[in-house]
Amino acid sequence: MTAHDDPRAPMATDSQMWRAVVARDARSDGAFWYGVTSTGVFCRPSCASRRARRENVRFFASTAAATAAGFRPCKRCTPLAPRDPVAARIEAVARHIDAHADESLPLATLASRARLSPAHFQRRFKSLLGVSPKAYQDGVRLARLKAGLRSGAAVLDAIVGAGFSSTSRVYGEAARNLGMTPSTYRAGGAGETIAYACRATALGLLMMAATDRGVCFAQFGASESGLRRTLASEFPRATLQPSPLAASPQLDAWISAFEAHLGGHGPRPDVPLDLRGTAFQIKVWRFLLGIGEGELMSYSEVAAGIGAPQAVRAAASACGANRIAVLVPCHRVLRGDGGLGGYRWGLDRKRALIDRERSGVRPLSTQPAAVAAR
């Protein structure tokens, strides 16, 4: 029995464990297991099987506890099989980076923790996590910077607290990943105007929002008020306003073209996008933009296409984090077995989008009548 298989070992909270399952986070393998009541199996957090409904998931501190509760091991992720020791050591290094991202972490030092040569460590780390150790550390620092800025910390204090070594470097990195300067982000988007518009489309109510750089948000939802709350959670102090032509002359035209496209009456609009995410996520999203209408790919093909063939789970997670529906076409990515996989706006929408694109002309009609904005 390993330390992680000790039922007395402390577990994360349910919400933390669920987030790890949703992200298929391999770093959580061995920290806990989860059982699915509808299938009777238990899995590692990184299991690539179709995601279960949250209400059907139970968490366990050990494989023994899962077995005692009547669950059998998953044949796909084989939770009772020994783990790849090198992968386990690399995942432990990733957790070390999470905890010490504000420190100087030379490649040689990290490689020694994994008991590998620097070159071998660099290759295996990137193949497992999709980014280099340095890019991974920068991603953790950026997340800390965002948290600090959102909590109201002074910009310089947030930069130092996140572990960035110079303000010139962080402004270049943060402007690319936040879509704005740190001072603007700290203010919750204060001083920035984000225009939005809603339409009842063939796939339900759609909200599209744009900064002066391009579309930063395109999502389906049940109500305009709910979609606006989602938009406001990312930019709590930005000026959010319905799109009058005087304030955003392009947005109404973009969303009208988008609506026509969803109804099967026009091509996908070619609009500028304001992509905001980690370096790895943006790399995946930019790759998705190159997948043509009617073409389908697997998550493994996406990972290979960005030069990280082992980062299949990370590529799938990046697809799931996409905030710009249809324009960044994550709906064109399927599981390796040809199954639909996941889609944050519902599998019915994903299936309808694929059907229309492959037919070339068929209007979308699988959704019930669109909910009116309210």
Q: Give me the CATH code for the 192-374 domain, please.
A: 1.10.10.10
Q: Which backbone phi and psi does 113 adopt, to 5 degrees?
A: -65, -35
- State phi, psi for 121 to the nearest 5 degrees: -60, -45
Active site residue ranges: 43, 330
The CATH number fitting domain 85-186, selected from 3.40.50.1820, 3.10.450.230, 1.10.10.60, 3.40.50.300: 1.10.10.60
Q: What is the mean pLDDT of residues 54-67?
A: 87
The Cα–Cα gap between 75 and 109 comes to 37
- Report pLDDT for 130: 66
pLDDT at position 112, please? 92
Bridge partners of 57? 36
What's the confidence (pLDDT) of residue 53? 87
Instruction: Tell whether the model's pLDDT for residue 346 goes beyond 60.
Output: yes
pLDDT averaged over every residue in the chain: 76
Question: Residue 58 — very low, low, confident or very high, per pLDDT cuts 50/70/90?
Answer: very high
Domain parsing of the chain, residue ranges? 3-73, 85-186, 192-374
Are 42 and 79 in contact by the 8 Å Cβ rule? The answer is yes
What number is the average pLDDT over the span 76-85? 79
- Report the b/e string of 299-324 with b at 16+ CB within 10 A: bbbbbbbbebebbbbbbbbbbbebbb
Separation between Cα atoms, residue 362 and residue 264, nearest integer Å: 6
Residue 215 burial (CB < 10 Å; 0-12/13-18/19+)?
buried
CATH tag for 3-73 (out of 3.30.390.50, 3.40.718.10, 3.40.10.10, 3.40.50.150): 3.40.10.10
Using DSSP bridges, classify how beta strands 239-242 and 204-211 pair: parallel, antiparallel or unpaired. unpaired
Q: Are 83 and 31 in contact (CB under 8 A)?
A: no
pTM of this prediction? 0.51
Question: How far is the CA of 292 from the CAs of 198, 227, 326, in angstroms?
Answer: 26, 28, 12
- State percent of the chain over pLDDT 70: 75
Strands (E) in the chain, as ranges, are 33-36, 41-43, 57-60, 72-73, 193-201, 204-211, 214-221, 239-242, 297-298, 333-334
Same fold, 85-186 and 192-374: yes
Specify the 3-state DSSP secondary structure of 12: coil
Q: How many angstroms separate the CA atoms of 201 and 205, rounded?
A: 6
